[in-house]
Amino acid sequence: MTPIPMNQFIEKITSICYFDISYDEINKTYLFNFEFTEDVDLSEFENAINKLKYELIDVLRSIKYPQIYIDDLRTVINEIKIWFETNGLDKFENFDNLNNIMTISKDKVARESNPPYTIDTIFQFPEDLRGISDPFLFYLLLHKSKTNNYENKNDLEKVKLYYVLTNYLESINSFSTFLEELTSLIDKYGINFNNWELIQPIIEVSQKCNFNNSKIRLAQLFKIFKSHKVFTFGNDPFKSTVNMKRFIESNFNYSTGDSIFHSTKNINQEFSILSNFQKDEQIKFCEEVIEIMRNEIAELKSSPNLRFEVKRKE
- Last residue of one domain, picked from the residues 170, 201, 232: 201
Asked if residue 268 and residue 289 are part of one domain, the reply reads yes
For residue 210, give the 3-state DSSP assignment: strand
Q: How high is the pLDDT of residue 218?
A: 93
Asked if residue 215 and residue 133 are part of one domain, the reply reads no
Q: Where are the beta strands (DSSP E) in the chain?
A: 21-24, 29-32, 35-36, 103-105, 209-211, 252-254, 262-263
Q: Which residues contact 249 (CB under 8 A, 6 or more apart)?
A: 264, 265, 266, 267
Q: How high is the pLDDT of residue 225?
A: 92
311 lies in some domain: no
Asked if residue 152 and residue 88 are part of one domain, the reply reads yes
- Last residue of one domain, picked from the residues 172, 201, 230: 201
| Residues of the chain below pLDDT 50 | 308, 310, 314
- Residue 117 has, within 13 A of its CA and on its CB side, a CA count of 26
What residue numbers bound the domain in which 280 lies? 205-303
Q: How many independent structural domains does the chain possess?
A: 2
Q: How high is the pLDDT of residue 197?
A: 56
| Residue pair 29/36 in contact by the 8 Å Cβ criterion | yes
User: pTM for the complete prediction?
Assistant: 0.67
pLDDT one-digit tens code per residue, 156-198: 999 999 989 888 888 888 888 888 888 887 777 666 666 655 5
129 lies in some domain: yes
Asked if residue 224 and residue 86 are part of one domain, the reply reads no
Encoded amino acid at 37, one letter: T
| Residue pair 251/208 in contact by the 8 Å Cβ criterion | yes
Q: How high is the pLDDT of residue 303?
A: 78
Q: How high is the pLDDT of residue 200?
A: 58
Asked if residue 93 and residue 149 are part of one domain, the reply reads yes
Q: What's the sign of the alpha-carbon dihedral 28, 33, 35, 36?
A: negative
